Chains A and B, each alone.
Chain A
Amino acid sequence: MPDARDAAARSADHAGIHRLVDALVPALIAKLGTLNVGELEVREGDWRIRLRRPAGAGPTYGRRATDRPSRAHPGHEQHGHAPGAPEPHRTVRASHAAGTPGDQSTNGSSGPSLAPVGPGRSGDAGPDREAPEGGALTRIATSPAVGVFQPGPRAVGGTRVRAGDPLGVVDMLGVPQEVVSPVDGIVVGVIVDAGTAVEYGQELVHLEIATLVEGR
């Protein structure tokens, strides 16, 4: 495709890039170093620039809303287990032998499906799942009970919520137990599907903290 824009526009862009690289980026890097955040983004005109800490260099993120000694710490895999201790089974398996995560209905007729449970218990619950942006300051809303998860209208990516806002319910024998946001922030997405059986403390909704989003 030939470039539709004229030479003047291109030269303005180049000037803009030089200015960003020479002045703004070093200033942002310095700023990022002083803030306790993993990522910064600024917009100027048509340009957007995002800086991200390398993995592992950021602040502790993905810490659970509920207090989980020995499981919330990075590197907890070694905690409390001497060599030779039996390897924990890490998931609650689907309760219906024929069911697979993809084909279970959510209307209860074939029973709830079961997602991997618990931080550090699921085989796939690594740092990637806890912080999909690779460094964004995130929080997780967890399950207040053992039961079946039903996300609420606010549990949709992009929704701005305040700490304590309801994100859905976990139905425990017909009694709804509210899932609440642990922080002021923006919903990134739900971690388990509607109608999934969840255990106490299971990670349900992924949020990004408001202070980061505001670019404070």
Chain B
Amino acid sequence: MGNILEINNVSKTYGKTAALEAINVSFEEGKIYGLLGRNGAGKTTLLNLITNKFEATTGEILLGKESVWENPNAQSKICYMTEKNMFPKEFTVLQLLKSSFDFYENFDLEYALNLAEQFKLNIGKKFKTLSKGFESITKIIIALSTDCPLVLMDEPVLGLDAAVRDKFYRIFLDNFARKPRTFIISTHLIEEVSGIIEEAVIIDSGRLLLKKPVEEMLQMGYCVAGKSNNVDKYAEGRKVVHSEMVGNFKTITIYEPVSQRDNQTAASLDLEIVPVQLQKLFVHLTGD
């Protein structure tokens, strides 16, 4: 499948501060991406550039073959669920859903009302009086009821308890199966989405650190544990991203091409190889 979104050499500076530096990354049609990064890494800046909130300092962003900058046609194909609230303050949820119906080309109002019921959202309430969780739910419902080929979600599950998050993931996957399109989900709850996203895009201090299928990342990353000097022997010449020691017992996390993993050597050194979770790998790769 072709690319729906291409970000070509995009930088954004605010005064003297570089928020994003020379980002080159593309997103394919019909895939779910996780946009991951530490606080202040530049995730929201990137989403804001895609959606015409700010202009990139250099580079270009293409949707299909069109630039997204000041381009209503391109923007009409993007649905952006922001962490911030952009809605008129006095609107009830129902009014918001109806105005979304007027705003988006193909907004499924019936589906939206059905979701509101499933999430037990009171549509008669004013948006500004909603709890953080129900604010998120309202925004989720709007995003899922559009049929924009590109949907950006910035922290979609903010303020949702574990049970409601689980319900969201189920409804989200059902929605994706009915209407496959490209989702870019920015979240800090990495472990929860690790099975749901197909590829991870990691931004670190304004730079693109990596873009890879999650499964591939999880095969490249692994922990080796055992007697400290044996672990050191195994680690020689490998890319060690983290290391921990308790007494004489050492655990290291390695990130390298799968073909370089050497189970035999590890076994001969009496070392244990265990898988690493995406969240841990992310923490180690982004520098702690």
The yes or no verdict on A and B being binding partners is: no
